[in-house]
Amino acid sequence: MGQLKFTFSDTITGYVTRFNRTERSFGLKTSDGREYTMFITPMTYARISQNLDEGYIDATGRLGELLEEENLVYAYCIFYPNGDDYRIEVKSMIFPGDQIGNYRHEEPDWWIKQIRAIADSYLKWQFGYPENQIDYRDYRTFLHLAGGKKGDYLQETDTISRLVYGFASAYLLTGEDRFLEGAELGTEYLREHVRFYDNDEGLIYWYHGLQVSGEREQKLLTSEFGDDYDSLPMYEQIYALAGPTQTYRITGDPQIMFDIEKTIDLFEKYYKDDQQGGYFSHIDPITLDPRSPTLDKGNNRAKKNWNSVGDHAPAYLINLWLATGEEKYADFLEYTFDTIEAHFPDYANSPFVQERFFEDWSHDKSWGWQQDNAVVGHNLKIAWNLMRMNSLRPKEKYVAFARKIAELMPAVGSDRQRGGWYDVVSRTIAPGEEYHRFTWHDRKAWWQQEQAILAYMIMRGVLKDDEYLRHAREAASFYNAHFLDRDDGAVYFNVLANGLPYLMGNERFKGSHSMSGYHSTELCYLAAVYTNMLIKKTPMNFYFKPKPGGFKDNILRVAPDILPPGSIRLTAVEIDGKPYQNFDAEKLAVNLPAAQHALRVKVTITPV
């Protein structure tokens, strides 16, 4: 094909290499080292990245100082054919900070402000709060771009639970009562409306959701989602625990612990493969058999996948261990990570892990939409969670696997021209081709950015490698520059490759089967922890409200995440607004006083 002779627009992201004031041009080097010459026009404008609930921060008059060597910039450009080349003229620029080396997302309260804004948006959209009380009968799975409710009345269990997670996480970081109210009421609603307790077997499983019409509600036992139709998929049972478990960290509510334990019993009895290891992805809703022929309709009979094995840790199990310190949960975590390390790597054939398996762990490359495609974020999610697990039970194989993922992914999963991380791509390159093909599109999903940000943040914090810090900063800067919806609230589902929001179909929604204030708030909570505790070494406050006699032995465990032993200490505690001294600084545990009311506990955790 000959030279492209037409104009087009696109984004180039990189680091400034030079600035020529006379020519009004500057050099920009991409993350992988390619350099471009860019021209500023009289209409070029620029801004500093701003948080949710912040006003526009104009930087147009400061280009001379911001276009300094090594400063990162997102430049949206028009490409004009110019002989055998293109002249690249910049129309707008976004800088991640107001000076070289400054990244606004590393401000101590950046992510705390962001989670507050996101949680407040969902309180307003779902319940009309604060004008109205929080009532989960008003909850809807689908929300339009500005939070308006779609005309159905579906309430999916998982999306409620994920929103509860978001409210609980917002309370942990802010101590503001409306968020805990949202978390507790949501947890109670799940228990009352979509929990099934089997008295004969002593097990709990969770309905897919409710179809609500006025005062009538119809319980939906099996999944309504196409990939899992007429089955009980493991990931739905897993994510039913996400919100209640995060709430349990705050309150120690014994009813929540009962629900968690009985659901884990379900996993162990019906989903676990005691012969060949791991957990099955689906079971029959009547027989609870993972090998039932009825599962053939979804190609899910006797199958295992990333979700059924790997999602336990980030969704609820790490948080359960943080709240209890129980060895049985550490054992469960170790089992899942050893299973992942044993079966998911496939580096002789692909730079991506294998995600789907038959019962005997042979590779399933025929399932549904996935075939032989890779979800970029799942690879990064493995690296992120391996580093968490390594701080609990260190193993060289965990670190080696995480490093392998971190080193391979930028070249095959990230956009090193524009910034950000892709969605789903082919696991292999066909003969005669040079790039992994996009499965559907080259758009970028909000949750995949989260996995990249958290993976590289924690790897930098634990392993002290500055290359990981560069990737973390690039990923977080792209996310904060392009995904925050400063007009209507919360974050966009997808952006185009160039960073502009993609607002078509389900991807224009703020609430759907896939989005419910979970990944965006999980990112805020953990990015705040990793940035302050591991990277910038800044103390943080966390908030709890334990119920009387809730936590075992009246011990409140306040570790914000699984971090390297000795890297943080508990340095101050307040109970009901007064200093309190009965705590273990090294074990990050507060010995609670006897009380007849829920105690307000504020703790300060300081990096060592």
- Tell whether the torsion through CA atoms of 51, 53, 59 and 60 is positive or negative: positive
Angle at 367 between CA 362 and CA 371, to 5 degrees: 90
List residues bridging with 203 in a β-sheet: 198
What confidence score (pLDDT) does residue 84 get?
85
Q: Is 401 left (phi over 0), alpha (psi -120 to 50) or beta?
A: alpha
User: In CATH, what number does 8-102 get?
Assistant: 2.40.50.320
Element (H, E) at 603: strand 601-607
Rounded to whole angstroms, how far apart are CA atoms 489 and 126? 13
- Write out the DSSP string of 175-192: --HHHHHHHHHHHHHHHH
Q: Which residues contact 79 (CB under 8 A, 6 or more apart)?
A: 7, 8, 9, 10, 86, 87, 88
Task: Name the stretches of the chain with pLDDT < 50.
Answer: 1
List residues bridging with 602 in a β-sheet: 543, 574
What confidence score (pLDDT) does residue 214 get?
74
* pLDDT tens digits, 330-374: 999 999 999 999 999 999 999 999 999 999 999 999 999 999 999
DSSP-based helix, strand, coil % in the chain, nearest 5: 40, 25, 40
Is there a contact between 598 and 251 (Cβ–Cβ < 8 Å)?
A: yes
What confidence score (pLDDT) does residue 215 get?
75
Rg (CA), the chain: 24
Is there a contact between 282 and 270 (Cβ–Cβ < 8 Å)?
A: no
Rounded to whole angstroms, how far apart are CA atoms 272 and 274? 6
Rounded to whole angstroms, how far apart are CA atoms 139 and 223? 19
User: In CATH, what number does 106-535 get?
Assistant: 1.50.10.10
φ/ψ of residue 127, rounded to 5: -125, 0
What confidence score (pLDDT) does residue 212 get?
84
Q: Which residues contact 423 (CB under 8 A, 6 or more apart)?
A: 375, 376, 377, 438, 439, 440, 441, 443, 444, 445, 448
Number of H helices, E strands in the chain: 16, 25
What confidence score (pLDDT) does residue 1 get?
47
Rounded to whole angstroms, how far apart are CA atoms 344 and 341? 6
- 442 alpha carbon, distance to own chain's centre: 20
Q: Could you state, in order of their start, the residue ranges of all structural domains in the chain?
A: 8-102, 106-535, 540-607
Rounded to whole angstroms, how far apart are CA atoms 83 and 373? 40
Q: Is 362 exposed, middle or buried (0-12, 13-18, 19+ CB in 10 A)?
A: exposed
Element (H, E) at 310: helix 306-310
Beta strands (DSSP E) in 122-171 are 154-156
Rounded to whole angstroms, how far apart are CA atoms 127 and 118? 14
CB atoms within 10 A of CB 98: 14
What is this structure's pTM?
0.98
Strand order in the sheet with 568-575: 540-544, 601-607, 568-575, 578-579
- 150 alpha carbon, distance to own chain's centre: 25
